[in-house]
Amino acid sequence: NFSLDKLANIDIHDLMNREPIELYDEHVAETLKGKTMLVTGAAGSIGSEIVRKLSEHDASLIICVDFSESALYDLQQELKRKHPGIDYRFILTDVRNEQLLENIFEEYHPHFIYHAAAYKHVPLMEEFPWEAVQTNVFGTLNLVRLAVRYKAERFVFISSDKAVNPTSVMGATKRLGEIIVQAYSSSVTSTCFVVTRFGNVLGSNGSVVPLFKKQIANGGPVTVTHPDMIRYFMTIAEACQLVLEASVMAEGGEIFVFDMGEPVKIVDLARNMIRLAGYTPDVDIKIQFIGERPGEKLYEDLFSEKEKLKETHNDKIMISNENIQSLAEAEKIINRLRTLDGFHEPDLYRVMIKELLPEYRSVTGDKKVVNFVSGNRITQYNFQN
């Protein structure tokens, strides 16, 4: 009974075994009304949905920053068609470029900043950790400093549950970004800084749902890394509700996390998708276990053991008020990472991250992580630094 229509119309909520989370509050719309918004990573899965939601809240100006030309163009065409009355700016640039970012802040003085730009694919960042550091750490630092300099009202950093007890470079760089954001929060009163932590976002670019759909449409097999791997899941819409709610609720320095219910086994997700497409798992469509990938762990944590939880007005939102590191500690992290400029050895980055984040432990999965540049560069680094 398989049809492509069935596959296309799979309801993501059917894959999570829980009711959708609804958070909409009038005070969110009222607070955002008439503000100038800056969204980085605006053409990505999360960023574009944030822009769509802001478009419904009567923002006076929405600045959409992304470095993906085609994706930004597609977003521009969609929003001009759907919201002709909203004032947008579509700016093609990279969050690594502090000077170009400063030009944006100088011209528009955004009130709210939603920082969604990031490298997020775990195995790729294991191979190219210098890219993760430059974007996820230094790109975040650029925006944080500009938010302070231009006295933005609020700054929302979009992080990941992979930042908790990280086993991947991607998760570790997200955690370092959290530390920087919270350190500035502890020393600055003009801007309210807040972190939002997501589980896996179903349907986002690079997530398992689009991958499984393609594999099912091709007749299988559906590839799963490990039979016991579990993840917390939320939808793009839920993730954006959390971001907007956090941007209004925050008092400064908190980490906001959704109660996403029980984690879901990836293999169960695969079986459900196969059934919803009209097939029988392991009969019509095979499930193939391919081994853990570099940086992956079997389960994710939402909070570390050191973090203290605080209740909110909504039982679906949890807040962590952890021990925030000082600005001096953040500067130490930044200065140590700067010494890696010009070096392209993954192992060197992992050693440095371990020095900065004792809770980080590298996991290579079932595949060898290959150095991009070989030779004596690590020895050279040790000699220079």
The secondary element (H helix, E strand) that includes residue 157 is strand 154-160
State the catalytic residue, choosing from 35, 162, 174, 213: 162
According to the 3-state scheme, what is the secondary structure of 312-380? CCCCCEEEECCCCCCHHHHHHHHHHHHCCCCCCCHHHHHHHHHHHCCCCCCCCCCCCCCCCCCCCHHHH
- The DSSP H or E segment spanning 68 is none
- The burial of 265, by beta-carbon neighbours within 10 Å (0-12 exposed, 13-18 middle, 19 or more buried), is given as middle
Q: How far is CA 223 from CA 209, 264, 270, 363, in A?
A: 12, 16, 9, 20
> Tokens at residue 95, please?
């969050």
Nearest to 65 by CA among 130, 117, 27: 117
CA distance 202 to 205: 9
For residue 61 the two structure tokens come to 């100006």
CA-nearest of 159, 136, 166 to 304 is 166
C-alpha to C-alpha distance for 168 and 336, rounded to whole angstroms: 19
Neighbours of 383 (CB within 10 A): 8
174 catalytically annotated? no
CA gap 51, 40 in Å, rounded: 10
| Active site residue ranges | 162
